[in-house]
Chains A and B, each alone.
Chain A
Amino acid sequence: MSLSIIIITKNEEAQIKDCLESVRFADEIILVDSGSTDKTLSIARAYATRIIETDWKGYSGTKMIALEAATGDWILWLDADERVQPSLQEEIQEVTKTGGVTGYYIARKAIFLGRWIKHCGWYPGYVIRLFKKEGARFSENLVHESVYIDGPAAHLKSPLIHYTDTSLDHYFIKFNKYTTLAARELFQSNYSCHLTDLIGRPIYSFIKMYIIKRGFLDGVQGLILCILSACYVFTKYAKLWHYREQNKTKE
């Protein structure tokens, strides 16, 4: 049975080479790019079976284009900041040969500021990434898109490597984008923002990650991550509050 890698990109020149290099074993690589202005495409041409350039159609819409273009029986969905290690490669090759189930959960080993975050509730963080093409589709959630499969799923033993952030500047650009998306989603669902959301939720998020999920065992990186997560929650609700205020003045 054949394996297709699907991957969507925009300006990933720093990550894309190592990523594609780690999946050369696949039968094909489908890369859907939405308007990169850097060297992403010229790097990808050496690896990808097919490159599709398209406007941004949202996470799920853009991934659907990749999914539909894939010709393999099995799909491995990868992000540019992820790598497949040899042990995972062996497992993937093994299960796609036999394949009793429809999809596989894969753990992700997140590397944050140079350290594997083992706690904070981040590991193993199983996600379905390997699945049979037939019947699969992506969900519509704005921020954390996931895949729906039509049948049972099992777990693989080896993790993916996920390089979360190379630079904090870059992290904060994403931070800004994702908090806006998340706040809009809450706004559309007509959720109202209270002081408990703005103050209580970030504190709760910090305590949960740093103490209950034992983030304190992850060194300075663990502390930074837990505070950043609290900032993330705070910013999300602060943006929600501001959307609602702006809406009030409009009305």
Chain B
Amino acid sequence: MPSLSVVIITYNEECKIKKCIEAVTWADEIIVVDSFSTDRTREIAREYTDLVYQNAWEGFAKQRTYGMNQASGDWILFLDADEYVTDALQNKLKELIEDDSPFHAFKLHRVEHFLGFPLHYGTLNPSYQPRLLCKGKGYWTGGAHAHIEVADELMGLIHEDLFHDSHNTITDFITRINYYTTVDAQDRIQQGQRVGKMRLIFSPVGMAWKSFIVKHGYRDGFPGLLFSIGMGIYSFLRLVKVWQLNNEASSMNRHID
């Protein structure tokens, strides 16, 4: 019978790793690749598996490849510590690896959990993430948005849910917005974006509108509203940072009297 290995990559995930692992204890082996956590992540992981490795962080693709090289299963499921396999997904995966699948890799349907509520609509959805690979039939590549390299016709879709518990608190959400807008703003500067008053008002409103109305975020109720406005704040903050980078030095402290 074909076997399944699970590769989980971690860094300081002591709060989430337990729930992640407990959802896949039915798999044939669990491999944890940790990039030198300073918390109890490895300790917790060892309660479930002996296959806990340490590898310096070199990006998602390299970290997952490292894990894959330790795996003995025919199929490999790649997870982040904030992702949880649902019962429906578990059944689907078991079924799939027993059948002789014509696909070499699969994208899984990922549902965001925002503040503890599932989001099925809005900007992020629907979201399919490459997470399952038949060993030896493909490889990981890419930077921040890593993907599995296989021919398009060999990439299948799984519609059962993988939960993604990315933002537990609004504080957490704002911290991420702050971080990603800084990175994003530098890209925009290189593209030569200019920012004026009109754009500062209409871009964020447009972004929130798109998530809440066009992409049906309202169907997620209150959390959907918060998330959509959060997307607006994201857009606004990115523009402000671009504006500030454009105006740095040139206009600072010219109008203080």
CB <8 Å contact, B115 and A242: yes
Interface mask (A222-251 → B, CB under 8 Å = 1, otherwise 0): 011001100100110011011001100100
Interface of B is mostly: helix
Residue A125 lies at the interface, judged by CB distance under 8 Å to chain B: no
Q: Give per-residue flags for A176-194: 1 if the beta carbon is below 8 A from chain B beta carbons, else 0.
A: 1001100000000000000
Q: Given that A114-B256, A223-B201 are known contacts, is A176 also in contact with B229, CB under 8 Å in the complex?
A: no
A111 touches B256 (CB 8 A): yes
Contact partners of A249 in chain B: CB under 8 A: 116
Known: A168-B241, A175-B174. A223 touches B200 (CB 8 A): yes
A227 & B200 in contact (Cβ 8 Å cutoff): yes
Question: Within the complex, what minimum Cβ distance (angstroms) separates A233 from chain B?
Answer: 12
Per-residue contact bits, chain B 188-225, to A (CB 8 Å; 1 contact, 0 not): 00000001110011001000000000000000001001
CB within 8 Å for A238 and B256 given contacts A168-B244, A223-B197, A224-B243: no
The chain A residue sitting closest to B253, CB to CB, is A114
Say whether B243 contacts A245, CB under 8 Å.
Answer: no
Per-position binary interface string of chain B over residues 214-242, scored 1 when its CB falls under 8 Å from any chain A CB and 0 otherwise = 00000000100110010001001100110
Cα–Cα distance between A116 and B255 once the two chains are bound (Å): 6
Per the bound structure, the CA–CA distance linking A234 and B174 in Å amounts to 12
Q: Is B153 an interface residue (CB 8 A)?
A: no
Query: Nearest Cβ in chain A — how far from B213, in angstroms?
Result: 14
CB distance from B208 to the nearest CB of A (A): 11
Given A114-B247, A116-B256, A223-B200, A239–B170 Cβ distance below 8 Å? yes
Cα of A242 to Cα of B171 in the assembled complex, Å: 11
- In the complex, whether B1 has a CB less than 8 A from a CB of chain A is no
Q: Does B65 contact A (CB under 8 A)?
A: no
A176-B197 contact given A168-B241, A224-B240, A238-B226, CB 8 Å threshold: no
Q: Give the number of A-B contacts (CB < 8 Å).
A: 79
Query: Assuming the A-B contacts A116-B256, A231-B236, are A224 and B200 also in contact, with contact meaning beta carbons closer than 8 angstroms in the complex?
Result: yes
A147 within 8 A of B: no
Question: Which interface class (under 10, 10 to 19, 20 to 34, 35 or more) fits B?
Answer: 35 or more
A115 at the interface (CB under 8 A from B): yes
Measured in the bound complex, the distance between the Cα atoms of B256 and A241 in whole Å is 39
Measured CB to CB, the nearest residue on chain A to B225 is: A198
A55 interface residue, CB < 8 Å from B? no
A128 to B204 alpha-carbon distance, docked (Å) = 38
Residues of the A chain whose Cβ atoms lie less than 8 Å from the Cβ of B178? 169, 172-173, 176
User: How many Å lie between the Cα of A13 and that of B136 in the bound state?
Assistant: 54
- B217 CB, nearest partner CB in chain A, Å: 14
CB B222 to nearest CB in A, in angstroms, measures: 7
Closest to A170 in B: B178
Q: Which chain B residues lie closer than 8 Å to A115 at the CB level?
A: 254-256
Q: Which residues of B contact A179 (CB under 8 A)?
A: 170, 174
Q: Given the complex, which residues of A lie within 8 Å of B200, measured CB to CB? A: 220, 223-224, 227
Offer 21 A-B interface pairs, CB within 8 angstroms, sorted by A.
Answer: A109-B256, A113-B244, A113-B247, A113-B252, A114-B247, A114-B255, A116-B257, A168-B240, A169-B178, A179-B170, A179-B174, A198-B226, A220-B197, A220-B200, A223-B200, A227-B200, A235-B174, A238-B170, A238-B226, A238-B229, A242-B169
**Which 4 pairs between the two chains have the least Cβ-Cβ distance?**
A114-B252, A115-B255, A172-B178, A116-B256
Besides A115-B256, A242-B169, A245-B116, 8 other A-B contacts (C-beta < 8 A): A114-B251, A116-B255, A179-B170, A179-B174, A220-B197, A224-B200, A224-B243, A238-B229
Which residues of A are at the interface with B, using a C-beta cutoff of 8 A?
A: 109, 111, 113-116, 161, 168-169, 172-173, 175-176, 179-180, 198, 219-220, 223-224, 227-228, 231, 234-235, 238-239, 241-242, 245-246, 249
